[in-house]
Amino acid sequence: AGKASGVNQAGSDKSKWYGPNRRLYLPAGLLDINTDVPSYMNGTLAGDYGFDPLQLGKDGKIAQYRIAEVQHARWAMLAVPGVVIPEALGVPGGNWTETGKVFLDGEAGRPEILGNPYLFTAIEVALLAGVEGYRSGKLEAPAGFAPIYGKFEGKDFKGLDPINPGGPLDFLNVASTPEDLAILKVKEIKNGRLAMIAMLGVFVQGATTGGEGPATNWAKHVADPFAYNFVTISAIDRTPVL
């Protein structure tokens, strides 16, 4: 009974994010879905707010763009804690602007590999090509083991969605119904978009503050918010010089 009520709740929430009555990027009184929203943004994709000011999806490749967006969103969601947590814990090379230097100096990693840009690039391309090959289905996924789920074979992924395959990768069975999966897709893309914006902020902060990391920026701002903020660090020194 409890599971059934959860499905009903997911179903009621789904109408907010999918279909013609979904939420859009502006309130209903300011936006007409029939004239102000492109026809190819019909509410079938998770996180479709009808926002495409550059009309990038007009070429009919909106499904491909969604795959790219989800991939970048997932990388960003991994990158944000990967940038903030090591710096906050004081790990050597925790400041993302210094991580490469720490590796190259031999404090961690293998400088004989990282110091050779051609070898390093070749290894990176080979690894990512393999991952992309498995994801796209061009290569048969290897056998493996997942907690709770147990052993699985590469053929277990055949016919599954390459972006949200589920199966062995959903070993906690959090998307047990299509309704649950639909809502989780919305949550993922919303958090992923925030993470991509956060990473842009990390890059801008690093460039603006001379290579400081976000944890250091935040600590200085909290300690003295009026003396350390975007306005003060961007201000031009106008002290008269004789």
Splitting the chain (242 residues) into consecutive groups of 10 residues, what average pLDDT does each group show?
40 80 87 86 92 90 92 95 93 84 66 73 90 83 88 84 86 89 94 96 90 90 88 68 61
Q: Are 129 and 114 in contact (CB under 8 A)?
A: no
Tell me if 67 sits within 8 A of 163, measured CB to CB.
Answer: yes
Please return the burial class of 56, using the count of CB atoms within 10 Å of its CB with bins 0-12, 13-18 and 19+: exposed
pLDDT reported for residue 110: 62
Q: What is residue 115's predicted lDDT score, i.e. its pLDDT? A: 67
Give the number of other Cβ atoms within 10 Å of residue 101's Cβ: 11
Tokens, residue 137 = 């289905």
pTM of the model: 0.81
Q: Quote the CA–CA distance of 66 and 59 in Å, as a whole number.
A: 13
